[in-house]
């Protein structure tokens, strides 16, 4: 962090060729001084951010090269955590597969659904908007822990489970289906539940962003021959809410790669044959059940690079400014 | 929306839109309604076959059980609520303030290291909070903040999500607006309060809602940073009372507890969304 002590401002004169280097630093320092108000505004955030986010991240990365069980001091083991992770840990590789499968289904579907719903809501008169916002958003403000009461009942494997009951009544099934124990149905069930909860922060950001779009743009569009709603959507709305689209996409990647609570609450930890085991579940297993912090940190670093990679892609599509 | 062609399309398009939205909305709401109905079901109906969606004889016995269990512990139930309110209130108000102050220069000023700081924030967004807990715990305990409200508030104030959200919204605000304020002689501090904050209200409301939900539902800070019972928060208390998810014997009580947890979040949601919708009506952005 660049503090700005009230030292004297270096005089800015056209610097002679031999002192180019000095001139650059002086210029930077002058820049910093000129913008000191900006830094004052940033200071509280940066202080807390450094202390509680940056330092812990660096510590975690450091720990990923050690064996650390919380009680003894960390012991440096080089890359062996990573080697173990990628070569010997079959369950981890399986978890990566499940997480990616999950992310590639819920990610795009949840994102597009959130945007289309927000857009549809912004099309209706203001007095009705609130009700629909409430309908779609409330699921995501409930915690997975709280809702497991309901889901466990709906998907229960005996004929008392609501879905089994209905499916048997309708004659689709002859006998109860073990939704939460059957290896084939675990991932789909988790996907359904997370989609239900996925109208989160992205949805709200879209909704607020859509309402910030200047009305003149639509009027100008109408004059320029925009005729249908979908034309309006493609040519006017989408470009105008680009910042929110980027935000929503980044959050979607972060959230869909972090699915864990739902899986743990519904199918337990570990799940049958590890069929619902995600990267984060693996991390939790090693960090808070086996207390192998070094190994857990290595998992976190891998997850981090996965997110970083996917988000680089997103920034390439939606970023720019 | 241009009114000219809205009138023409009112028939088919709107009917379809409303039907679709209402249907899907009710479907999304159904599990919640089911939870609320479970919370008021008497024991005799909890495991009824065939299963029923709505209770026949609604009762408040589950709530009474919940309060009775907690009434016998040595810290009164209201203390948990008080702690949760203090911690959540602190995180939301201070967090919003800090994020606003930081987002404005990052989005609208041109200064050295700006891009570095911004990419650090975006990067931090992607690091799993779960691994950060251990180093964060070490920092808190080393700095002697254990067993204070600060320990439960400070680590959650510098939220990368909030700042990222606000920066993205600030990008929608035209620079010319700030430029003209500067020409009129407004200081940066004045610009922040008189122009940025009112225009940023949708983002502020959104972030306040989000951080409220997170802080309210999160049992970890109380679990990790306190050792005294009188500093524990509501979610931790409820978690330990209801015996965790999937415990059959207390389905009703646990639904009642979940219900109690969710009600405040819904109220905050209603309040903040009102704010968002109202801001639109007279926003300076035209």
B233 in reach of chain A (CB within 8 A) = no
The pLDDT assigned to A5 comes to 44
Domain coordinates in residue numbering, chain A: 83-145+182-318
Greatest pairwise CA separation for chain A in angstroms: 90
Alpha carbon of B29: minimum distance to chain A alpha carbons (Å)? 6
Name the token pair of B65. Answer: 């059980």
Task: Look at A287 and B130 and tell me if their CB atoms are within 8 Å.
Answer: yes
Alpha carbon of B107: minimum distance to chain A alpha carbons (Å)? 11
For an interface test with A, give the residue of B245, B258, B259, B263 to mutate (most A CBs within 10 A).
Answer: B245
Element at A75 (helix H, strand E): strand A75-76
Question: Is a pLDDT exceeding 70 seen at residue B176?
Answer: yes
Task: Look at A53 and B132 and tell me if their CB atoms are within 8 Å.
Answer: yes
Locate all alpha helices (DSSP H) within chain B, ordered by sequence: 3-8, 12-39, 43-46, 61-71, 77-108, 114-125, 129-142, 149-153, 160-170, 175-183, 188-191, 197-199, 201-217, 220-225, 234-242, 251-281
Closest by Cα among B81, B130, B112, B109 to B196: B109
Question: Is a pLDDT exceeding 50 seen at residue A244?
Answer: yes
Domain A83-145+182-318 has CATH 3.40.50.720: no
For an interface test with A, give the residue of B13, B109, B119, B130 to mutate (most A CBs within 10 A).
Answer: B130
Q: pLDDT > 70: what percent of chain B?
A: 82
Facing residue for B112 by CB, picked from A28, A139, A199:
A28
CA dihedral A107, A110, A113, A114 (to 10 degrees): -110
Q: How confident is the model at residue B250 (pLDDT cuts 50, 70, 90)?
A: low
Alpha carbon of B167: minimum distance to chain A alpha carbons (Å)? 9
Q: Tell me the per-residue pLDDT of A32-78, one tens digit each, with 9 for 90 and over.
A: 888 888 888 889 999 999 988 889 889 889 989 999 887 888 888 88
Alpha carbon of B119: minimum distance to chain A alpha carbons (Å)? 11
Q: With a CB-CB cutoff of 8 Å, which residues 14-43 of chain B face chain A?
A: 14, 17-18, 20-22, 24-26, 28-29, 31-32, 34-35, 38
Q: B154 or A4: which carries more pLDDT confidence?
A: B154
Whether the CB-CB separation of A252 and A162 falls below 8 Å is answered with no
Task: Look at A151 and B31 and tell me if their CB atoms are within 8 Å.
Answer: yes
For an interface test with A, give the residue of B104, B134, B200 to mutate (most A CBs within 10 A).
Answer: B134
Q: How confident is the model at residue B72 (pLDDT cuts 50, 70, 90)?
A: low
Q: How confident is the model at residue B246 (pLDDT cuts 50, 70, 90)?
A: very low
Q: Domains of chain B (ranges plus CATH)?
A: 68-284 (1.10.3720.10)
């Amino acid at each position: 962090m660049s503090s700005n002590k009230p030292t004297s401002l270096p005089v800015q004169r056209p610097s002679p060729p031999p002192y180019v280097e000095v001139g650059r630093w002086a210029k930077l320092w002058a820049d910093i001084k000129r913008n000191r108000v900006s830094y004052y505004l940033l200071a509280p955030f940066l202080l807390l951010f450094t202390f509680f986010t940056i330092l812990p991240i660096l510590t975690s990365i450091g720990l990923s090269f050690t064996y650390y069980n919380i009680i003894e001091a960390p012991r440096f083991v080089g890359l062996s955590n990573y080697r173990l992770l990628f070569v010997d840990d079959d369950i981890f590789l399986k978890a990566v597969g499940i997480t990616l499968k999950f992310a590639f289904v819920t990610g795009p579907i949840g994102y597009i659904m959130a945007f289309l719903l927000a857009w549809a809501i912004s099309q209706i008169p203001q007095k009705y908007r609130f009700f629909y916002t409430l309908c779609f958003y409330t699921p995501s403000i409930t915690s997975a822990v709280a809702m497991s009461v309901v889901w466990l009942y709906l998907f229960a494997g005996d004929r008392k489970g609501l879905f089994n009951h209905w499916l048997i009544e309708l004659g689709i099934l002859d006998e109860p289906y073990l939704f939460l124990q059957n290896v084939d149905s675990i991932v789909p069930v988790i996907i359904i539940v997370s989609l239900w909860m996925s109208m989160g922060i992205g949805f709200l950001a879209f909704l607020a962003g859509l309402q910030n779009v200047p009305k003149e743009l639509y009027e100008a569009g109408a004059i320029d021959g925009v005729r249908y709603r979908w034309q309006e959507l493609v040519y006017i709305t989408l470009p105008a809410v680009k910042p929110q689209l980027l935000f929503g996409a980044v959050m979607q990647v972060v959230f869909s790669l972090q699915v864990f609570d739902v899986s743990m609450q519904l199918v337990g930890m570990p799940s049958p044959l590890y069929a619902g085991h995600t990267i984060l579940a693996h991390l939790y297993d090693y960090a808070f059940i086996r207390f192998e912090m070094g190994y857990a940190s290595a998992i976190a670093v891998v997850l981090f690079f996965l997110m970083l990679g996917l988000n680089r892609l997103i920034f390439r599509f939606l970023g720019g400014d | 929306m241009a009114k000219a062609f809205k009138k023409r399309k009112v028939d088919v398009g709107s009917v379809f839109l409303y039907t679709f939205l209402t249907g899907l909305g009710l479907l999304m709401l159904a599990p919640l309604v089911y939870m609320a109905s479970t919370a008021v079901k008497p024991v005799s109906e909890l495991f009824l076959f065939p299963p029923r969606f709505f209770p026949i004889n609604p009762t408040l016995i589950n709530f009474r059980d919940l309060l009775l269990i907690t009434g016998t512990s040595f810290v009164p139930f209201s203390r948990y609520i008080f702690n949760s309110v203090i911690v959540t209130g602190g995180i939301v108000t201070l967090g919003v303030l800090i994020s606003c102050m930081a987002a404005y220069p990052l989005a609208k000023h041109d200064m050295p290291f700006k891009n570095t700081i911004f990419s650090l924030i975006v990067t931090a967004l992607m690091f799993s909070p779960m691994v950060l807990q251990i180093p964060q715990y070490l920092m808190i305990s080393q700095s002697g903040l254990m067993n204070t409200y600060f320990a439960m508030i400070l680590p959650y104030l510098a939220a990368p999500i909030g700042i990222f959200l606000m920066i993205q919204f600030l990008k929608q605000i035209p620079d010319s607006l700030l430029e003209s304020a500067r020409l009129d002689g407004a200081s940066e501090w004045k610009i922040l309060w008189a122009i940025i904050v009112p225009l940023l209200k949708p983002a502020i409301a959104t972030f306040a809602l989000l951080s409220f939900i997170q802080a309210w539902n999160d049992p970890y800070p109380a679990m990790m940073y306190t050792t005294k019972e009188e500093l524990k928060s509501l979610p931790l208390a409820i978690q330990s009372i209801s015996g965790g998810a999937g415990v059959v014997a207390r389905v009703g009580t646990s639904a009642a507890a979940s219900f109690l947890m969710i009600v405040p979040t819904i109220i905050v949601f209603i309040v903040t969304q009102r704010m968002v919708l109202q801001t639109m009506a007279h926003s300076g952005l035209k």
